[in-house]
Amino acid sequence: MTGTLHRRGATRRSGGSRRPSTATRRPRVRRAGIRPSTRSGVTVLRPEVGRVRTVVGIAAVVAVFGGLAYRLGDLQIDPDPRLVTEVAVPVPEIRIPAPRGDILDRLGRPLATSVTASTVVADRRLVVDPGATAARLAPVLGLEVAAVADRLTGDGAFAYVARQISEDTAAAVAELDLPGIDLITEPTRDHPNGDCTALAVIGDVNPDHVGRSGLELTEDERLAGTPGRVVKEMSANRSLTIPGGIREIERAVPGSDLQTTLDRNIQFTAEQLLAEAVAGADAARGVALVGLPATGEVLAMANVARGDDGTVACTTRNLAATWTYEPGSVLKPLTLSGVFEEGRWGPRQPLEVPPSIERWGHVFRDEPWHETEELTPAEIVARSSNVGTITLVEQLEPAELESRLRDFGLGAPSPLRLPYESGGILLDAEHWNGLTRPNVAIGQGVAVTPVQLLDAYGAIANGGLLVPPTLAVDQIATTGRRVVDETTAATLLDMLAGVVDHGTGRAAALDGYRVAGKTGTAWQPCEGGEGYECPDGGRHYTATFAAIVSDARGPVLTVVVVIDDPRGEEVSGGHIAAPVVADLAGYALRQLRIPPSDVGDPSATPVRALPAVAGADPVESTS
């Protein structure tokens, strides 16, 4: 059987004849209108129809963009005032605070650092009922209802209600879930060693994290860093932030840390010992300073005061730099320095000293009373003779005495540049009267700060070189300024050692160390009285002891303790301030690991073991 092959699309005619396949036939072309083919259910657009629709689409697009271009051009030439007003509103710029640097002690331990705290804020537009909201919120915050209501009804949308609150208070506020009331976090300052340690020296910041006292203020530029800026693009009515519209313009630059010369443990101990002494003497306030004379570094600057409730505690006022007082006999080595350096009297040359002398109608006496006797300058200093000191200092002209005291740093603020630091009071010699020179000779009629005393005694310890004091490690001076020659400084140091060995400062002695120092028990002007004498016949005093502590190699520490207005049975610097110097110096020497010499004075005070400081590094006793 013969098979027949049928091509696709071919048909068999009834007469048996075969018609050529469409695959091989030449298509006929229509000359008239074009119609779409719908063969096999598929619509096929003829080429002429596609071209027409393309042309129409392009024309429409051109028309739309042409209209927009025309409108944009029109707005450039003749803009709508409403649009101009909205566009002219500046894009909000947000200030991004920079992380504040830490304040560290000399070993890198933090004294002040930044943490975050919760702050209550309000969006006044969302607060439904300010009165009712205030009534619920105020008791939680510990504020008056009226005060909170005022903050919720003021001008503007944003308001602070309470800043930097405790975690417990923040949790209680969140629990209220009040409309328009929210919690945000803000940076605040934390003192890891307690809010009291070095409080007056470190200072504080305001709620905006800007320094307002102490080192936080004087070193604010270093600690604060540089804030960043962010632009926030918003809708015309400022209700919405445009997606993707937050752009950083300047990145915040963190502040730098400040490493101080303070020793955390010595500072803490100074505050504890000082508070005990002030409380025990029923005194008003006190200052204790510890320094390294060779470099001018201040290791401790303690300030305490008695509160209204009678409790003695740290104070926010830096008395060491702001309190001026008449120092009394502690100034005698400074006033005598010129006598020796100018060769007006020899250090071993005896002087006839009566129990009293009269100048300009005023009688100056020695306490206790004594017969007229011959004393060397060293004995005059050891016994703190007013009469002997005045007689010697009168070998100097008033201008010479004034110049000598200014050389030691009196009459001007110290290089510490602490806020509100006082320069003391030292009148120009041209304004002195007949009583001024004898008064200044014994430390009356002139006012100093405790910091100035520390500097002056540091100069004696340094062989006559006054090295500027500092509280910052990166500001330690490499040179000093000469105020007396080495011979005079050595003479003064020997005389001061005699004060502790067999004079009024025996309570400051330390076994294994050489302590040289001077007592001061100065009269205070009495309000309502006549001069230094009160209406009831009594007096007020300031008790001081300034010391230079040496090991076998030479001076290593300077210590100054000042106690204001002691009211106990003993009011002298030798009885009240000197024991504090001994305890504080002993602790500092152990903390600095400065061992005693092999040969000690059996009659000297042993280095007392003090209570451990919270968080302090363990230090083995070297006594």
The residue with greater pLDDT, 406 or 533, is 406
- Same-domain check for residues 329 and 464: yes
pLDDT reported for residue 292: 98
- Same-domain check for residues 163 and 287: no
- Same-domain check for residues 290 and 390: yes
Per-residue 3-state assignment (H helix, E strand, C coil) for 105-128: CCCCCEEEEEEEEEEEEEECCCCC
285 occurs within a structural domain = yes
What tokens does 65 get? 């963009």
378 occurs within a structural domain = yes
Q: Read off the pLDDT of each residue in 247-256 and give the average, rounded to a whole number.
A: 79
468 occurs within a structural domain = yes
What tokens does 29 get? 């072309």
Structural domain boundaries, residue 552: 264-591
d(CA 461, CA 516): 9
15 occurs within a structural domain = no
Q: Scanning the structure block, which residue is given the tokens 């417990």? A: 168
- Same-domain check for residues 575 and 430: yes
**CA nearest to 520, candidates 375, 325, 317:** 325
Q: What's the number of domains the chain is made of?
A: 2
CA-based max dimension of the chain: 172
CB of 546 closer than 8 Å to CB of 453: yes
- Same-domain check for residues 171 and 269: no
Please state, in angstroms and as integers, the Cα–Cα distance from residue 351 to each residue in 346, 391, 394, following that order.
Answer: 10, 9, 13
Total length of the chain: 623
What residues contact 339, with CB distance under 8 A and at least 6 apart? 345, 377, 392, 393, 395, 396
**CA nearest to 440, candidates 328, 362, 333:** 328
CATH number, residue 395 = 3.40.710.10
The residue with greater pLDDT, 327 or 610, is 327
Task: Please give the single-letter amino acid code of residue 533.
Answer: E
- Same-domain check for residues 328 and 453: yes
Q: Is 218 helix (H, G, I), strand (E, B) or coil?
A: helix
310 occurs within a structural domain = yes
Angle at 545 between CA 544 and CA 548, to 5 degrees: 150
Dihedral sign from CA coordinates of 137, 140, 141, 145: positive
105 occurs within a structural domain = no
206 occurs within a structural domain = no
Angle at 402 between CA 396 and CA 408, to 5 degrees: 110
536-587: per-residue pLDDT in tens?
778 999 999 999 999 999 999 999 999 999 998 899 999 999 999 999 999 9
- Same-domain check for residues 280 and 176: no
455-487: per-residue pLDDT in tens?
999 999 999 999 999 999 999 998 899 999 999
614 occurs within a structural domain = no
- Same-domain check for residues 333 and 446: yes
330-347: per-residue pLDDT in tens?
999 999 999 999 999 999
Task: Please give the single-letter amino acid code of residue 60.
Answer: A
pLDDT reported for residue 368: 87
What residues contact 448, with CB distance under 8 A and at least 6 apart? 324, 325, 327, 331, 410, 424
d(CA 389, CA 375): 11
- Same-domain check for residues 425 and 517: yes
- Same-domain check for residues 176 and 304: no
- Same-domain check for residues 165 and 268: no
Q: Read off the pLDDT of each residue in 518-533 and give the average, rounded to a whole number.
A: 88
CB of 153 closer than 8 Å to CB of 124: yes
Please state, in angstroms and as integers, the Cα–Cα distance from residue 432 to each residue in 389, 396, 397, 425, 442, following that order.
Answer: 18, 14, 11, 13, 15
Give the 3-state secondary structure percentages of the chain, helix then strand then coil, rounded to 5: 35, 25, 45
